[in-house]
Every structure is written in structure tokens, then in C-alpha cells.
Amino acid sequence: MPKYHQAVIVTGDGDFYSLINYLLAENKLAKVVVPNQFRYSTLLKQFDPSLLTFVSDLRKNLEYTHKRKSPKPATESAEMASQPQTS
């Protein structure tokens, strides 16, 4: 598989154990991202912990947070209200 540098596998399932072993042997595995750090296959727990990354650890970087606009200062609002409106 020469058309990629390294793979990232997202799974908590032990069905990917053989694929992970193969990619490790080929030096083609960057990380295994596990969705639920409290519930994942014991087969995956056999790998070096530095290979595993948990979504909960990445949440701060991945989660969208709506940034609220700060309210306009009172002086600016008052100035706009006192200006005559033109149509």
C-alpha cells in the first residue's frame, strides 16, 4: 500500500485488531482513535497506550462552541438612537 504515509483508525471494536497489527508491522499506523475510553475492546488494550487516543481527550479541539457576540456599549447605542433616520 504505497499510496499513503500513515493511517488513523477510528474504532473501539476488536475486529480491527488484525488490521492494526498489520499496519504497525508495516510502519503505516499513526494512531488509533477510540470513541469511548470507558468501553472498548480488550484486544485494543493490548497495544501500547501511546498508540491510543480517546475522543474525550480531543473534545476541546474538535467541539464547536458558539461564540456569543459581546453587547454593544451603551454609548454607541444611544448615539445611534439620537441620529435622525433617513429613508
Residue with cell 470507558: 38
- Length reported for the chain: 87
Mean pLDDT of the chain: 83
**Rounded Cα distance, 71 and 67, in Å:** 12
Between β-strands 52-54 and 29-34, what pairing exists: parallel, antiparallel or unpaired? Answer: parallel
Closest listed residue to residue 15, CA positions, set 3, 32, 31: 32
Tens of pLDDT, residue by residue over 6-37, are: 999 999 999 999 999 999 999 999 999 999 88
Question: How confident is residue 86, by pLDDT bands cut at 50, 70 and 90?
Answer: low
Residue 62 — pLDDT band, cuts 50, 70, 90?
confident
More confident residue, 74 or 53: 53
How many CB atoms are closer than 10 A to CB 63?
7
